[in-house]
Structure 1
Amino acid sequence: MAALAATLIIGLVAAGVISCLVIARRRGVSLPQAIAFLKLKVLFRLRLPPGTAAPSRGPVLHVYSRQSGLDAAVLWSVLGRDCLHVLQEDDRRSLILLAMRLFARTTPAGDMAAIEAALASGAPVAVGFPHSIEPTPETLVRYKDLAAVARRRSVPVRALHVTGSSLSLWSARPPSEAPRHLLPRLTLSMSGLLDFSDIGPADNGASAPRDEDRMHDLLALARFRGNDLGRGLFLAFRDAADRYGKAGPVLEDALGGRLTYRKLLIGARALGVRFETMSRPGEALGILLPNANAVIVTFLALQSAGRAAAMLNYTAGSAALVSALSTAEIRTVLASRAFVDKAGLEDQVAAIGKAGVKIVWLEDLRECITSLEKARAFLAWRRPIRPVNASDPAVILFTSGSEGTPKGVVLSHANLLANTAQVDARIDISVRDKLFNVLPVFHSFGLTGGAILPLLYGIRLFLYPSPLHYRIIPAVAREVKPSIMFGTDTFLAAYARTAGDTDFQSLRLIVAGAEAVREHTRQTYRERFGASIIEGFGMTETAPVAAVNSCSHGKDGTVGRLLPGMAMRLEPVEGINDGGRLFVSGPNVMLGYMLASNPGVLQPIEGGWHDSGDIVAVDEDGFITIRGRAKRFAKIAGEMISLGAIEMMVQKLWPEDFHAAVAVEDRRKGERIVLVTTKMPALREELREYSRRFGATDLMVPGEIVNVAQIPVLGSGKTDYVTAQKIADEWIHSHRKSGKARQDDVG
């Protein structure tokens, strides 16, 4: 027996030695490197991206964010034998890197002379930066210094990232931010090569983006590419449960419900079996539910069953709801009696029934689930009921209709996974955070950012059913103690007016979208609550985030920089000299539209580029400023006037009120601007005088002012410009009939 055991051991050792020799020969690395690579493959299931069968040759500056002590070991095992590894102090003392220090070329962090000498000799160099996603000013200086070295030596720069190493026992993050695993799965990802010496002025003569911004983008891109986008949402949630599931309840709601990852997936598996039997493969089922645990379970159940979830906007009214059902050819709606009764949605339910669509009440469905079905779900919670492709439709969302008829936006599993990964590559979030989501999940920001993102990255999530409870939400926040919150300027300003000084004191970060954030709102949250508001930009068609600022790397007044993996182009617009019409492409851009004129038929976007319909300007650092919607420009006396710019001007004059600028027909100058405002009284002469100090032209001064008690908003928090336009049209019509309409039009 002992002889057999010895023979087996000798055989395994021999097999290992032969494997290492083969790896060393095939990859062109040293034997110690091959041994380290084999250990990492066996113990940590190290996965390399395609095209890395052999290390890159010649002088290349490799940069990476050091997530743990394993990062240096991984890079040593895959980069060339002559690569110089610049080690931080922790790695120079680490026992797990003892072999690396014995056999590799290493130098302490900050040794710029050694870096330049290695590159000059034709050798590659690997340099690690601090693990934080959001760079500090000191880190930005290091980015700039290394970029300058690369420029002087005319060597390309490539960013690398070791996904999963932050969860290892040697993580650079504290346990409160990254749960520990004995042998986490590791994935090495990388950006393309960037040659800083080739970067010159832009075609329009503007300065090129700063070197530190270019380096930051490379690192973000490498981090983003480390995510697995080739699977379905259910499996992604299962993997999140494996990574973060030991932390206890991850999902809570205002009803007092608390769910762990496992309970969430068991419930989804049990419901999914029923959804599969009542529908066809790939069919979309409507979800008419509020922000509560049940909506997440139902959403995941549809993903498990291989069905698309059509998120229905119950605030849009019966006509819009029935139109959405027809557009997506929805035959079944999943709803809750308790919610319908409490929200007063009897008219909408009646309209759904009248349209011939079946309503399935979740209360009844839960009672029908047998003990055997529950047992099967308990045993099989890790597997979806039906396999799906990442490119399959996962959700149908309907555009807000703030400027016209809503359309169905079809997003795939990969679209949603990509967008969450893109945001994670730009904003520093971790399991220490708790997100308070008041935005409805029928809105893309509320679904992707407010539900899918936190649950995929281990952030505890608290769901609140309505963003309109201005007095209740601050009190709930005081009890929940969130660190992150999403919202719009309209909602955030309303909460601040009713909140006590301690209600939001737990917040560190607020991500705002859908409309521009007023400086008054930003200042209020910074001074009263110590929370930073960062602005982002997106649309349902990009799942939804396209650009975002961060706390340490942003510019007020902009919506941030484009997310990693995305591309943009600007097309000129007649009459606009400081911007263009924005087109975007990327892995988060939708599969296509469903239109009411062609129900149930997916209309893909042409060439992978989506026309955002926004007029934007991009500065030399890549920060995007929204000039306005293309539809929200008025043509007055032959000039294009941004209605959004008018709103910004008026907001600076009357910061505590709310305003909407719209255009109406004018016989003399083509169009006339009407300001709908809550300011009382709103004096036109005061506005005219301020516009001159503001630097605006006379054409930007509204020709008419209409006072309202409240600016109309949609359920998503956006200004409802359709209703605002009706208010202006009715006011103009009534005053023309009475002969009181202004005739001295100045814009």
Structure 2
Amino acid sequence: MAGFAVALIIIMLAAGLLAAVKVSRQRNSGLAQAIALVKLKTLFRLHLPEQSSGSPAPSPDRPVVHVYPRQSGLDAAVLWSVLDRDCLHVLHPDDQRSLILFGMRLFARTAHAGDTAAIEAALASGRAVTVPCPPDAEPGSETLAAYKALAGFARKHGAVMRAMHVRGSSLSIWSAYPRSSAPRHLLPRFRLAQSGLLDFGVISPAGNGATAPRDEDRVHDLLAEVRFASNDLDRGLFLAFRDAADRYGKAGPVLEDALGGKLSYKKMLIGARVLGVRFAAMSQPGEALGVMLPNANAAIVTFLALQSAGRVAAMLNYTAGPAALVSALSTAKIRTVLASRAFVEKAGLEAPVAAIEKAGVTIIWLEDLRESISWQEKAAAFLNWRRPLQPVKAGDPAVVLFTSGSEGTPKGVVLSHRNIHANAAQAEARIDISVEDKLFNVLPVFHCFGLTGGAILPLLYGVRLFLYPSPLHYRIIPAVAREVRPSIMFGTDTFLAGYARTAKDTDFASLRLIVAGAEAVRAETRRIYRERFDATIIEGFGMTETAPVAAVNSRSHNKDGTVGRLLPAMALRLEPVEGINDAGRLFVSGPNVMLGYMLASEPGVLQPLSDGWHDSGDIVAVDEDGYIAIRGRAKRFAKIAGEMISLGAIELMVQQLWPEDFHAAVAVTDTRKGERIVLVTTRMPALRDELREYSRRFGATDLMVPGEIVNVPEIPLLGSGKTDYVTAQKIADEWIKSHRTDRARK
């Protein structure tokens, strides 16, 4: 028996050696490198970048500086196994002493970290260099300085730069991360990605809109690009969640809601398998089923069940009213709605439910469905929880969301599996998150920010998630946060300001990061959270059509008055707008940009983007470093006496004068000047003379001073937290009409 085992080992070693010899010849690499590559492919199922040769792209004639985030002691070995044999590998101090890299140090050209003379000598002789960098997505000032120095070496020696990233190595037992932030696996899957080549001698408008970016920012963007590229986006969302379960599933409960329910990845996917079987039986592959559920565990399980069954989740905005709901059902040709009786009763949604049933749409009550599930079905789900019921392609529709309707009739936005997964990966490439984090999500999952950012993103990357059913519970949410102790929270300015008014100073003490979107964040809101809660608010920008995030600030790259820089793999262009000289209309493209619209005029028919570019309808300015400043919606500019006036800029001015109140600026028809501005505000009293005097100090023109002021007890909001400008416009129109009538009577 012992002899057989020895023979088997000898045969395996011989087979491995033969495979290494073959690889060495194919790649023109050293035999030691080829042996290392065969080992890595066998043990860690190393996936290499897609090239015709099955290996990374060859280096150009010029020397290449390869930079990579050092996530483990194996990263250097992976790069040595695939790069040119003459490449100089600069080693992290820990790697210089590591036993697992003994063979690499024996056969490779190496230098210790900080040996700039060796780096310059290699580049001067035309050889490539690999340099490890800190693994953080948000680099500190020292790291940015190191990026700048590396760019300087590349410029000096006419070299180009390429970034490399080994996805999965952070989970190995040789991880550079503490166990608390990266769970360990004996043999995790490795996936190597590489960026394009960066030539520091060429300065041209970048895809992110930057015209003269700093060298350190160009390196940072290159690393973010390759971090994003290291994700496997050619999988459906169900399989992406299963991958997350494999990586982070041993950490215990990952999903929790206000009802006290706690689910691990496995329990979540078992529940999805059970429900998915039922959903598959009542619908056709690719059919859209409506989901009318609050932020609770059941909503996530239902969403995953639809993905497993190969159905499309149409997330319904139950706050929009019966007419809008029925319109959404018609637009997406939805025959079945999944809902909860307990939720309908508690939220008082009897009228929308009656309208849905009157429209001939079937409502499936999850409580009834759950009670009818047999033990045989549960047992089958337990055994098959890892497998989706229906295979899907990454480019297939996964979700239909409906635009907010803040300026008109909502449209159905169709997002693919890849769109949503890509957007989560883009955000992870810009902002540091880990299994140590807990995200407190109050934003409804029928809103794209609440779905992708507040649910899918954390669960794909091992962040624990706590769901709260309504963002409008201003007094309750701070107390819940005190008990839950989240480190990350998403919100809108309106909601965040409301929580701050009722919160105790210790309620948000656990927060390290607040990401705000959907509307501009007021300086007063930033100040309150900074001074009272020691929490930083970073502002981002997006739209349902980009799944939703398009740009975001971060702790390392943050500029007040902007919504940050474009996400990796996205591009933008600005088209001129008549009457606006310092900004343009924003168009975006990228892997997160929607498949297309569904319109009420052609129900169920996908209207794809013709050229991959989406017209955001926003007027923006982009500075030389790529930071985007929103000037306003194209529809939210008033033309007064021939000049284009931003209603958003007027709101910003008014908010600085009266920061504790809320305001909405709209335009009404004016017979003399074309249009006139009406300010709808909660300020009491709101004096026009005070506003006119402040506008001069603010630097505004007289045309920006509202001609009329309408007082309201509260500004109308949509369920997503955005200002409801349709209702605000109606308030202004009715006020103007009534005052005209009063004047006529007098």
Q: TM-score, normalised by structure 1?
A: 0.98
1:124: how far off?
A: 0.5
Distance 1:78 1:202, change over 3 A: closer
1:104 corresponds, among 99, 104, 108, to 108
Give the equivalent residue in structure 2 for 1:704.
708
What is the CA-CA distance between 1:689 and the residue it aligns to?
Answer: 1.1
Q: What's 1:211 paired with? A: 215
Whether the 8 Å CA contact 2:210–2:626 is kept in 1: the answer is no
2:639 aligns to what SS in structure 1?
Answer: strand
What is the match of residue 639 of structure 1? 643
CA distance in 2, matches of 1:342, 1:677: 31
Question: Retained in 1: the 8 A contact 2:715–2:723?
Answer: yes
- In the other structure, the counterpart of 1:744 is none
Matched with 1:182 is 186
Q: Secondary structure, in 3 states, of the residue corresponding to 1:738?
A: helix
Please state if 1:391 is matched with 2:395: yes
- Contact 2:443 2:720 (C-alpha < 8 Å) held by counterparts: yes
SS in 2 for 1:139: helix
Instruction: Provide the residue aligned with 1:260 in structure 2.
Output: 264
2:150 is matched with 146
* Contact preservation (8 Å) 1:85, 1:127: yes
Partners of 1:160 and 1:9 in 2: CA distance: 34
Match in the other structure for 1:60: 64
1:62-461 alignment, distance < 5 Å:
62-199=66-203, 208-461=212-465
Aligned to 1:196, what secondary structure does the other structure show?
coil
1:642–1:141 distance in 2 versus 1, CA, 3 Å:
same
Q: Which amino acid in the other structure matches residue 641 of structure 2?
A: A
Aligned equivalents of 1:207, 1:420: Cα separation in 2: 27
> Does 1:626 pair with 2:630?
yes
Cα displacement (A) at 1:366 = 0.6
3-state SS of the aligned residue for 2:743?
coil
Q: Kindly tell me: are residues 6 and 342 of structure 1, through their superposed partners in 2, closer, same or farther at Cα, counting changes over 3 Å?
A: closer
User: Aligned partners of 1:713 and 1:153: how far apart in 2?
Assistant: 57
For residue 56 of structure 1, report the CA deviation from its aligned partner: 2.4
- Go from structure 1 to structure 2 and tell me whether the alpha carbon gap of 1:6 and 1:57 turns closer, same or farther (over 3 Å shift): farther
- Is this contact kept in 2: 1:57–1:124, CA < 8 A? no
**Correspondence for 1:48:** 48
AA at the equivalent of 2:55: A
What corresponds to 2:19 in structure 1? 19
Q: Given that residues 597 and 607 in structure 2 are in contact (C-alpha distance below 8 angstroms), is that contact kept between their aligned partners in structure 1?
A: yes
Deviates more, 1:81-90 or 1:192-201: 192-201
Deviation at 1:192, TM superposition (A): 0.4
Q: Which runs of 5+ in 1 are unaligned?
A: 742-747
**1:200 Cα deviation after fit:** 5.4
Shift of 1:67: 0.7
Task: Give the Cα–Cα distance (whole angstroms) in 2 for the partners of residues 8 and 299 of structure 1.
Answer: 48
2:743 counterpart letter in structure 1: G
How much does 1:213 deviate?
Answer: 1.0
**Helix, strand or coil for the counterpart of 1:556?**
coil
Task: Indicate the SS of the match to 2:101.
Answer: helix
Are 1:526 and 2:534 counterparts? no
Q: What displacement does 1:151 show? A: 1.6
CA distance, structure 1, for counterparts of residue 231 and residue 205 of structure 2: 33
Residues 162 and 189, structure 1, Cα contact 8 Å, conserved in 2:
yes
The CA distance in 1 between the partners of 2:419 and 2:92, in whole Å, is: 37
Distance 1:386 1:200, change over 3 A: closer
- Residue pair 2:203, 2:211 contacting (<8 A) in 1 also: no
Match of 2:617 in 1: 613
> Could you say what secondary structure the match of 2:677 adopts?
strand
Question: Quick one: distance in 1 between partners of 2:175 and 2:629?
Answer: 38
User: CA offsets per residue over residues 205-225 of structure 1, 9 Å max, x none?
Assistant: 995111111111100010100
The answer to whether the 8 Å contact 2:315/2:399 transfers is: yes
Letter in 2 for 1:56: S
Cα distance, 1:571 vs structure 2: 0.5
CA distance in 1, matches of 2:595, 2:71: 34
* Paired amino acid for 1:36: A
3-state DSSP class of the match of 2:490? strand
Indicate the residue corresponding to 2:494 in structure 1: 490
Give SS of 2:314's match.
strand
Residue of structure 1 in register with 2:728 after alignment: 724
1:538 and 1:501 mapped to 2: Cα distance? 31
Deviates more, 1:487-496 or 1:138-147: 138-147
The answer as to whether partners of 2:288 and 2:312 remain within 8 angstroms in 1 is yes
Q: What is the DSSP-based 3-state SS (H/G/I as helix, E as strand, rest coil) of the residue aligned with 1:461?
A: strand
**What are the residue-to-residue correspondences of 1:582-601 with 2, within 5 Å?**
582-601=586-605
CA contact (8 A) 1:169 1:181 kept: yes
Q: Distance in 1 between matches of 2:242 and 2:136?
A: 26
Aligned partners of 1:677 and 1:6: how far apart in 2? Answer: 84
Q: State the Cα deviation string for residues 379-399 of structure 1 (Å, max 9, x = none).
A: 000001111111111110000
1:8 partner letter: L
Following superposition, the deviation at residue 10 of structure 1 comes to 2.9
1:201-257 CA deviation, whole Å, 9 max, x = no partner? 899x99511111111110001010010111111111111111111111111111111
SS at match of 1:425: helix
- Give the whole-Å Cα distance in 2 for the aligned partners of 1:269 and 1:5: 42
Q: Distance in 2 between matches of 1:200 and 1:219?
A: 19
- CA shift, 1:4, in A, is 4.4
Secondary structure of 1:641's counterpart equals strand
For the Cα contact (< 8 Å) 1:156–1:195, is it kept in 2?
yes
* Residue identity (%): 78
- Aligned partner of 1:37 in structure 2 is 37
2:107 and 2:305 mapped to 1: Cα distance?
A: 52
Q: Give the Cα–Cα distance (whole angstroms) in 2 for the partners of residues 207 and 593 of structure 1.
A: 32
Instruction: Please give the per-residue CA displacement for 1:508-551, whole angstroms capped at 9, x wherever unaligned.
Output: 00000001111111111111111110000000000000001111
Matched, 1:565 2:566: no
Amino acid paired to 1:18: L
Q: Distance in 1 between matches of 2:267 and 2:562?
A: 41
Per-residue CA deviations over 1:242-295 (Å, capped at 9, x if unaligned) read 111111111111111111111100011001100000011110000111111111
Aligned residues of 1:312 and 1:321 also touching (Cα < 8 A)? yes
Identify the match of residue 535 of structure 1 among 531, 536, 539: 539
CA distance in 2, matches of 1:401, 1:113: 60
Does 1:581 find its partner at 2:600?
A: no
Unaligned stretches of 5+ residues in structure 2: none
Q: How many angstroms apart in 2 are the aligned matches of 1:623 and 1:41?
A: 41
Equivalent in the alignment of 1:745: none
The structural deviation recorded for 1:2 is 5.2
RMSD value, Cα: 1.5
Match of 1:694 in 2: 698
Change (3 A) 1:206 1:183: closer
Structure 1 residue 112, shift from structure 2 partner: 2.1
Q: Partners of 1:562 and 1:396 in 2: how far apart?
A: 24
Aligned residues: 741
**CA distance in structure 2 between the partners assigned to 1:621 and 1:575 by the alignment:** 25
Contact 1:64/1:159 (8 A) holds in 2: yes
Counterpart of 2:676 (choices 672, 676, 687) is 672
Task: Write out per-residue CA displacement over residues 403-433 of structure 1, whole angstroms, 9 at most, x where no aligned residue.
Answer: 0000000001111100000000000000000
- Which sits farther off after the overlay, 220-229 or 683-692? 683-692
CA distance in 1, matches of 2:615, 2:271: 39
Alignment check: 8 A CA contact 1:283 1:308 kept: yes
